[in-house]
Amino acid sequence: MITSFHKAAAITPHDTNPNVFSAIYVGGAGNVTVTTKNGDLVTFTAPPVGSIIPVSTSLVMAATTATLLIGLNG
């Protein structure tokens, strides 16, 4: 299934500033730690560079070490 997104924004990880997205594009190596819209804290360990993580987020946490992140919304 291919999903089309209509909005995109660079992500600055932060523990309190909202980062509300439907998916995250990972441009650089590292881990991605998010709080989901349901309130779960999850770390995606070493997602492949160039991948899209299909997760609904409320926060992209400061513990995130991956770089060049783009938040996507449909």
> What's the 3-state SS for the chain?
CCCCCCEEEECCCCCCCCCCECEEEECCCCCEEEEECCCCEEEECCCCCCCEECCCEEEECCCCCCCCEEEEEC
Q: Where are the domains of the chain?
A: 7-73
pLDDT in tens, 24-58: 999 999 999 999 999 999 999 999 999 999 999 99
pLDDT at position 74: 86
Q: Would the pLDDT of 16 be above 70? A: yes
What one-letter code names the amino acid at 15?
A: D
Q: Is the pLDDT of residue 2 over 70?
A: no
